[in-house]
Amino acid sequence: MRQTAFLAGRVLLGGYYLMGAFHHFAGVGTMAHMAAAHGVPMPEVAVVVAGILLAVAGFSLLLGIYPGVGVASVVLFLVPVTLSMHAFWADHDALMRQMDLINFGKNVALLGSSLMFLAIPRPWAYSVEQHVHLPIRAPVV
């Protein structure tokens, strides 16, 4: 039961990140415009890199392949995006402040849920690593 629930969680979270990657690639222009409005340098490049990070995270967690790489991708995506795109403390409009506060909190929760994957022993049940026997490094203590 626990392994099935863990797989369901991986599917949901990995699918969420893959959906985000799709939206980044499909809407580069729109997202780059929003990023530029928040002062992000080279916004088109930033949006594409963000999409790549989301895709790596999504596939890694969904398939259970090198989850450390997936979690690192999530961290590299969420930390700068959360601080630059959802800086609720800098909003002057109350509605925007509330929207950014909600998205800031959501991103912090996503970051926390993704970091928890590092505590799960590998290979994961129902994972590619389990069936392909990819090399797994010993934990650093």
Summary mean pLDDT of the chain:
93
Q: How far is CA 55 from the centre of its chain?
A: 8
Within-domain flag for 55: yes
pTM value is 0.90
Contacts 24+ apart (CB under 8 A), 41-48: 48/24
What's the confidence (pLDDT) of residue 141? Answer: 53
Residue 35 lies in a domain: yes
Mean of pLDDT values over 98-109: 97
- pLDDT of 133 over the 90 cut: no
Is 138 within a domain? no
Domains held by the chain: number: 1
**What pLDDT digit, counting tens, does each position of 69-84 carry?**
999 999 999 999 999 9
36 is a domain residue: yes
State the helix-helix crossing angle for 67-85 and 28-37, rounded to 10 degrees: 50
Q: Buried (b) or exposed (e) across 74-98, using 16+ Cβ within 10 A? A: bebbbeebbeebbeeeeeeeeeeee
Contact 122, 67 (CB under 8 A): yes
- Contacts (Cβ under 8 Å, ≥6 apart) of 130: 64, 123, 124
- Domain membership of residue 76 as a residue range: 2-132
Percent of the chain with pLDDT over 90: 90
Write out pLDDT tens, residues 25-60. 999 999 999 999 999 999 999 999 999 999 999 999
How confident is the model at residue 129, as a pLDDT? 87
Res 14: pLDDT: 97
Q: How confident is the model at residue 140 (pLDDT cuts 50, 70, 90)?
A: low
139 lies in some domain: no
Mean pLDDT, rounded, for 15-34: 97
